[in-house]
Structure 1
């Protein structure tokens, strides 16, 4: 009778091996990103070297190029990781507020803004990397595209079903102003001296946003 072997398709051994391989790849990516973040913070993007990233990560240069294609790929991956966490945190906060019965578009917007700003503090080491505008070719366009998408989402949220925000051009301008305030506040929060200072900035920014939105 033919018996299944671990390496054969569908075998239990393959599943375990695949899981281990995925875990190793995930650990490799994490180590490379953590090292790149430190080197970018210490040297700036332009002066950061692949050799130092490899040395700090303990990962081979071949693995770096395999996973990220080079220094620019590491920068983009760090950016995408941070922005995804900011957006997911804001979306969760809005969803939680809705489930709790909140239906005021401005209150929902403030809940999302507060969550976004909190991530700016919690991930301040990463957030600081992108404040100076330094980065690979195309990074400015990447940031502008993200800002435009974010503004469109905020416009939709603020308008809501009750039309809390003005429609048309006025609504777009209001969303632009509020989104810009949040973005600039994120810079200040990421460079705050302490968690207490960051919390104070977040509270004040939310008060300003409410006044502007109403």
Structure 2
């Protein structure tokens, strides 16, 4: 959950609107307390959503588990839906950052084959599905507030576009043809469904086996 929280915090500091605005010292401590408050609320919300499902999760239980006041919850997130969206943004930001870092590292090591780069990113994405399996299970279940389905479709379209560009290699900036678009759609769908299986794996060894097998399948499909 670090990536999007850090981005929000940076925006608040830059704009002078965060709770820690007002300089160093006391202001910095206030910002740190606000960040700790947000973290406690998100952690509690994830646990309650996981235990109850989004629809049956209650604000009262989230507040009780977090030890944070209901006023602070509404101040930071506006309610249950805001908590859900913040958790989803944190997970997707971490998945995207992990995949991008893996592709960048492979390029630095001299890899130029588009399929190999794509697999490096896919493997990193799938690892996050295991490392953040509690959150991944929540979102893969498809439950959520009004508008969450559209939010997920928009993110999927973004991933398909990114994967299409990556798979095309040096010509990635040129318009993609229908076969390339369909291939990227199929591969991205396979990765998404694999994430569901990985998030529900019994243990890390099983998750690693699934990731390895999925990557082998992706290579065969991509070639």
TM-score (norm. length: structure 2): 0.88
The answer for the alignment partner of 1:118 in structure 2 is: 127
In the TM superposition, residue 131 of structure 1 has moved relative to its aligned partner by 1.5
Alignment partner of 1:153 out of 137, 149, 162: 162
Match of 1:41, SS? helix
Structure 2 residue 222 is matched with structure 1 residue 213: yes
- Given the alignment, which residue of 168, 188, 191 partners 2:177? 168
1:198 paired residue number: 207
- Show the counterpart of 1:61: 70
How many angstroms does 1:162 deviate by? 6.2
For 1:84 and 1:108, locate their aligned partners in 2 and report how far apart those are by CA, in whole Å. Answer: 19
Q: How many angstroms does 1:14 deviate by?
A: 4.5
2:24 partner SS: helix
- The answer for unaligned runs of 5 or more in structure 2 is 1-21
Q: 1:18, CA displacement in angstroms?
A: 1.3
Are 2:144 and 1:135 equivalent residues in the alignment?
yes
Question: Deviation above 6 Å: which 4+ runs of structure 1?
Answer: none
Distance in 1 of aligned mates of 2:43 and 2:55: 18
Residue ranges of structure 1 left out of the alignment (5+ in a row): 1-12
Q: CA RMSD in A?
A: 1.3
Residue 142 of structure 1 and its aligned partner are, at CA, apart by 0.1
The one of 24, 42, 52 equivalent to 2:51 is 42
Q: Which residue of 2 aligns with 1:101?
A: 110
Contact 2:41/2:66 (CA < 8 Å) preserved in 1?
yes
**Does residue 35 of structure 2 align to residue 26 of structure 1?**
yes
The answer on 1:15 being equivalent to 2:24 is: yes
8 Å Cα contact 2:115/2:167 also seen in 1: yes
Larger-Rg structure: 1
Q: Spell out, residue by residue over 1:151-179, the C-alpha distance to the aligned partner (whole angstroms, 9 max, x if none).
A: 0000000001167xx95000000000000
Q: What is the aligned length? A: 200
